[in-house]
Amino acid sequence: MDIINIYDNSDKLYYIGGVVRDKLLSVKSFDVDITYVGDAIEYCAKFGEVIQENPDFGTIRVNVGGREVDFASTRAEVYEKKGHLPVVTKIGCSLKEDVLRRDFTINALAMSVKTGEIIDYVGGQEDLENKVLRVLHDKSFVDDPTRIIRGLKFRVRFGFDLEPNTRKLQEEYLAHINYDMSYKRVKKELIETFNLNSQYAFELFVKEGIYKLISPEKFDIPKVNIENLINKYPVKLPWIIYIGLLPDLSRIEFTKEEKKIIEDFRSIGELKDDFEIYKAFDGLALESIFLYAISKDMKSAFRYLDVLRNIKISITGDDLKNLGIAPSPKYQEIFDYVLKEKLKNPDITTQDEISLAKKFIN
Ligand code: ATP
């Protein structure tokens, strides 16, 4: 989404944060944030149909000509509990106070809606030109460690680097992590970062020890290039292939589907033959198979993906009924027997399968 045109004569309205950064970088923005120096809920409702408002934060979402735009009141915050959501101390503060609560200088730029003038209190434009990420103060990562993952995301997305002091602060924080933090926000940033499907991001994540925010135990980067793997076989949840490899995932709250992906791959042990491979992977999410491939046994996983998964037996319960066999758990044994034979010889016909079933019963 690009900057939207709002025709308003107020000099208190500013595009703010990512949208200004993206405009200066000439890349597309995901969303448009606009801040009003004062009470946005009162002022900005006139721009269109109000979709929702949150008086605690002074924010309002409005449909402006078919686009949902977030308007925020300028606000100041403090991190009373480090690593958790900040507490709003003032709504309707100055623009300068509002930008000083932000994560990096490149995300702390404002642009006047009325004149297009860029307001830069923190040197964000220079950092954009030099392609560096710089925190606004030395306690930034202590206040909110999710910024370390946000930093990784922006470095990878824009090809930026950490400026030296920010790098030093990251190292210091990672050497003294306070694990009492909001992992819901950590998870959101992990998803956004690793859905970029970047091996480079994963290498930085491991090499710089950023993974320790989630899983403290030492972790080495697997030999497999995950980015290439996902490019070859697209999956629904790319991020989980990167994160699922960490030994300790107890801090992250997974959905039922995500939990199953992790549990499935962890529960599979050594696979000795085609039949065992087939039975282990049949019906599993591709994500689980990849996690197994990367961390345990690449050969079995690819034997399944490239060859075995295309093999299916054709006989059904009806065929067995027609042979005079009453439905019972025996059916599964028969199907498994036929499958075992078919994996050895995939070209057999349905008639051959029926003969095999008969042979098994006899
Ligand atoms: P994206 O293009 O990924 O949406 P964005 O910069 O717009 O990037 P958002 O997560 O939408 O990111 O946040 C909007 C703005 O809010 C940021 O540009 C930044 O100024 C501020 N912000 C977001 N997260 C934090 C944080 N953890 N700490 C401080 N400021 C933050």
Residues with CB under 6 A from ligand 1: 17-18, 30-31, 33, 102-103, 107-108, 144, 146-147, 150
State residue 2's pLDDT score. 61
Q: Encoding tokens for residue 289?
A: 């198979």
Question: Whole-angstrom Cα distance, residue 98 to residue 78?
Answer: 11
State residue 9's pLDDT score. 82
Percentage of the chain beyond pLDDT 90 is 93
Banded pLDDT at 1 (limits 50, 70, 90): low
Q: 336: closest CA among 306, 317, 313?
A: 313
The strand order across the sheet containing 33-36 reads: 49-54, 59-64, 67-73, 33-36, 13-16, 110-112, 118-119
Query: What's the CA-to-centroid distance between 12 and ligand 1, angstroms?
Result: 21
Domain ranges of the chain: 1-130, 257-310, 317-361
Query: What's the CA-to-centroid distance between 49 and ligand 1, angstroms?
Result: 25
Which atom of ligand 1 lies closest to the CA of 108? Answer: 20
Question: Whole-angstrom Cα distance, residue 185 to residue 350?
Answer: 53
Tell me the mean pLDDT in the region 327-341: 94
pLDDT, the chain, mean? 95
Tell me the mean pLDDT in the region 41-52: 94
Tell me the mean pLDDT in the region 166-193: 97
Residue nearest to atom 8 of ligand 1 (CA): 18
Return the CATH number of the domain spanning residue range 1-130: 3.30.460.10
State residue 95's pLDDT score. 98
Least confident range of 118-122, 261-265, 357-361: 357-361
State residue 362's pLDDT score. 82
Count of helices and strands (H, E) across the chain: 18, 11
The DSSP result for 174-187, as a single string, is: HHS----S-HHHHH
Residue corresponding to tokens 């932000």: 102
Between the alpha carbon of residue 253 and those of residues 58, 189, 250, 303, 333, the distances in Å are 29, 13, 8, 32, 38
Banded pLDDT at 6 (limits 50, 70, 90): confident
Tell me the mean pLDDT in the region 226-254: 96
Tell me the mean pLDDT in the region 325-343: 94
pLDDT above 90 for 361: no
Percentage of the chain beyond pLDDT 70 is 99
**Total-model pTM:** 0.93
